[in-house]
Chains A and B, each alone.
Chain A
Amino acid sequence: MNASVPHIEVMRSQLGRARGLGAGHSGVGHWWAERVSAASLLPLSTWFVVQMFRLGGADHAEVVKWGGKPVNATMLAALIITTFYHAQVGLQVIVDDYVHGKAHLPTRLLIKIGTSLMGLLGVFAVIKLVVRSGSGK
Chain B
Amino acid sequence: MQDIRKALYVGSRSDGTLIQRPMSPHLQVYRYRLSMVLSISNRITGVIATAGAALGVFWLGAAAKGPKSFATARKVTGNPLGQLVLVGWLASVVYHTVGGIRHLIWDAGYRYDKEELNKDGPVAVGVTAGVSTVLAAALLAVAGCRRSKRAKAGKVS
Contacts and interface: CB of A to CB of B under 8 A. Distances in A.
A129 B63 contact: yes
B71 interface: yes
A42 B139 contact: no
B53 A118 contact: yes
Given A60-B70, A94-B43, A118 B57 contact: yes
A57 B67 contact: no
A79 to B, nearest CB: 9
Contacts of B29: none
SS of B interface (majority): helix
A53 B138 CA distance: 8
Contacts, number: 95
A2 to B, nearest CB: 34
Interface stretch (B9-17, B30-38, B113-121, B144-152): B144-152
Interface residues of A, number: 39
B28 interface: no
Task: Output the residue of B53, B61, B66, B103 with the most chain A CB within 10 A.
Answer: B53
Contacts of B146: 56-58
Interface in B43-97: 43, 46-47, 49-50, 53-54, 56-57, 60-61, 63-67, 70-71, 74, 78, 93, 97
Contact of A67 (B63, B140, B157): B63
Contacts of B54: 118
A101 interface: yes
Contacts of B157: 59-60
A136 B127 CA distance: 43
B135 interface: yes
A45 B142 contact: no
Contacts of B143: 56-57
A122 B142 CA distance: 25
A35 interface: yes
Interface of B: 2-3, 43, 46-47, 49-50, 53-54, 56-57, 60-61, 63-67, 70-71, 74, 78, 93, 97, 100-101, 103-104, 107, 135, 138-140, 142-147, 150, 155, 157
